[in-house]
Amino acid sequence: MPVCPAGGWPRTASRAPRRARYPGGVTFPVVGMVGGGQLARMTHEAGIPLGLKFKLLSDTPQDSAA
């Protein structure tokens, strides 16, 4: 078991998890959905407050989530 140093453990500025950066400027999490219907639209709306990004693959630009 590790022993705590006399001055305590160093604290980080933020406890929030970091998002990894990958080549091409992609940040995660990214959710991919096949189909641009109502379920994709509702899932996207629910993911916005969670900070999720969505990529949709739909048949036409007129699909409800496209």
Examine residue 54 and state whether it is found in any structural domain, yes or no: yes
Can you give the residue range of the structural domain that contains 45? 27-59
Q: Is the pTM of this model over 0.75?
A: no
Whether 33 contacts 56, CB under 8 Å: yes
Tell me, yes or no, whether 9 lies in a domain: no
d(CA 46, CA 25): 24
pLDDT digits (tens, 9 = 90+) for 5-61: 666 666 665 555 555 555 666 666 888 999 888 999 999 899 988 888 889 888 888
Looking at residue 61, what is its pLDDT? 85
| Assigned domain for 53 exists | yes
For position 22, what pLDDT does the model report?
57
At residue 46, the pLDDT reads: 92
**Could you tell me if 30 and 55 are in contact, meaning their C-beta atoms sit under 8 angstroms apart?**
yes
